A and B are shown apart, each in its own frame.
Chain A
Amino acid sequence: MLAFRTELQKIFSTRLWWILLLVGVAISGGMGILIASNVAMSPGAPSSAFSYSYSVAGRVSYLVPLLLGTLIITNEYRYQTLSRTLLLGFSRRTVILSKMAVVAVVAFCIGVVCTTINATVVFAVVTAGGKDSMLSAPEQLGILWRTPFAFVLWGFVGLGFGLLLRNQIASIISVLGFVLVVEPVLTTLAGESDVFATVGKFLPGAANLSLIWPPDSSFTGSVVQNLPWEQGGAVMALYGVLLIGCGYVFAFRRRDIF
């Protein structure tokens, strides 16, 4: 508990958390407004257009918890603060567990803020346009309450990434490269063939989409979201736990710290 409180104080003692929060708010708010005014406001927009608008935070802003998880561990390497962290007397396992807990708490809170902003701007745009906001539909509510949990899982994935790569620049480039290049390419490929599609739905991006915005409401043009949200979440959690587990066992538990 002491280790958790220490890690929590650490994250709030630098500028990182509010810069990330700001990025998340900007993406969720900005893209929320854009998409709501373009998609949901177009004449005869289907209900999935609303889900598309309400899921901006979960579909795009997950980059923020991903970076949070990566940075919380790679900062220790970059500024060589890991020695001091361990000399406080916490075991290496405790340090990682408390970092996981902090990532969970902070990512969840950022998720709540991003989701709220997302929902608020979409609601405002749609209502101002004289349409029904559809906010109380079970589908939208599902998206909204599941998004913060998706953020937590992305935070774990980031933490695992950082543990394995250690180098902060390499980690950030890998994370961004994966999210912005590799994942979309793979997802597109998966959409092109049935063979790829069976594997594709287990990719993190697709699993994330399944988690926040399950398949029965798929929006025209989007692909591979073939898992129920529970399974999508389970796949995401598996990624996080596997990455953190491997990172801890192979790159942290016994590593010499100079």
Chain B
Amino acid sequence: MTTTRVSDSAVVSEGANSLRAVPILVNNLSKTIGRSEILHDLTFAVAPGRVTGFLGPNGAGKTMTLRILLGLVAPNSGTATFGRRSFNELTNPGNMVASSLDSSGFHPGMRVGSYLRIQATALGVSPSAAQEVIDATGVGGFVRARIGSLSLGMRQRLSLTSALIGSPSVLVLDEPMNGLDPHGVAWLRDYLRYRAALGHTVLVSSHALAEAENLIDDVVLIDGGRLVLSSSLTSWRSVAPETLVISTAKADELTTHLRDRGVIAESASGIVRSLGVSEQAVRDIATQTGIELVAVAPATASLEQLFLDATSRKGIEQERG
């Protein structure tokens, strides 16, 4: 599984679903289990031809949203559809939508080859077409192995393989990078970008943000079952509040002063990161409090930083709220 194999995936997708890729539409989705509200009035859209990152901290409701979208869980209200149809209303959902929810859910006693043959049978895919996907994802060398003996990474590859075997036009993948080695991650990134370029709809949940950074065009960020943000990564970056990196001997002290003035700030090993405050304001605060600054520099927010800011800001707002 190396990046050079991406050219092979052209072959893989030749027989791709002739249906045009449809957007994924989530409208006012709510789900309550017992007394806990897992999803609250969630609305977002996932456009074809782009890779959309579905982000959020653990327990944000990502997997629940995907399970509802895939017809495994019934929502209390709202809809999650492919175009206008729910998963179960699609003519041939298994072929149209590739889904990989996690790297578990295999019978450990089954051999890799048997499992893939069963997938191919179920989806009505010819053995040769299936073989191309198998070669591309690199599970071909393991067909005799029982699934129970595979590593996490190999099971993840197997899960992806079985998802992609039906040449679908919509991909819904939950944490597909989990357990993959750097080659695997690079391959998957290129492959998903390639599928998006074909006009397919690609929704990828992740909390591996550094890996998602080079992959996604659009971001859907949820937290606590609510939508925090849905936009393109570029515009998220452009509206994100300015982040400053401040070097000082009294990092903790400066952080406290900044926070007293309502500025979001955190310090780690002598470096303070502040958010949404100008360089001049920081310098003023430092002068007032007699703290000597070594350097102040604007930082390009990484996806991780954007994520942390968006989720922590919300937390602070809720506390204040």
A221 interface residue (CB < 8 Å to B): no
Q: Is the CB of B105 within 8 A of A2?
A: no
B37 CB to nearest A CB, Å? 15
Stretch at the interface among B107-115, B187-195, B266-274: B107-115
Cα A10 to Cα B121 with chains together (Å): 11
Q: Is the CB of B72 within 8 A of A257?
A: yes
Q: Is the CB of A83 within 8 A of B123?
A: no
- Count of A residues near B, CB < 8 Å? 25
Q: Is the CB of A86 within 8 A of B72?
A: yes
Cα A3 to Cα B92 with chains together (Å): 13
Contacts of A81 in B (CB 8 A): 105-107
Q: Is the CB of B110 within 8 A of A256?
A: no
B184-215: CB near A (< 8 Å → 1, else 0) gives 00000000000000000000000000000000
- Count of B residues near A, CB < 8 Å? 34
Q: Is the CB of B162 within 8 A of A15?
A: no
Contacts of B104 in A (CB 8 A): 80
B92-126: CB near A (< 8 Å → 1, else 0) gives 11110101010011111111001101110111100
Q: Is the CB of B106 within 8 A of A79?
A: yes
Closest to B172 in A: A87
Q: Is the CB of A90 within 8 A of B72?
A: no
Contacts of B77 in A (CB 8 A): none
Cα A14 to Cα B114 with chains together (Å): 9
Contacts of B101 in A (CB 8 A): 83, 87
Cα A163 to Cα B250 with chains together (Å): 64
Contacts of A3 in B (CB 8 A): 122
Within 8 Å by CB of B94, from A13, A75, A79, A90, lies: A90
A91 interface residue (CB < 8 Å to B): yes
- Known A-B contacts A87-B99, A87-B101; the reply to A14 vs B121 at CB < 8 A is no
- Known A-B contacts A3-B122, A90-B122, A258-B67; the reply to A9 vs B107 at CB < 8 A is no
B71 interface residue (CB < 8 Å to A): yes
Closest to A12 in B: B114
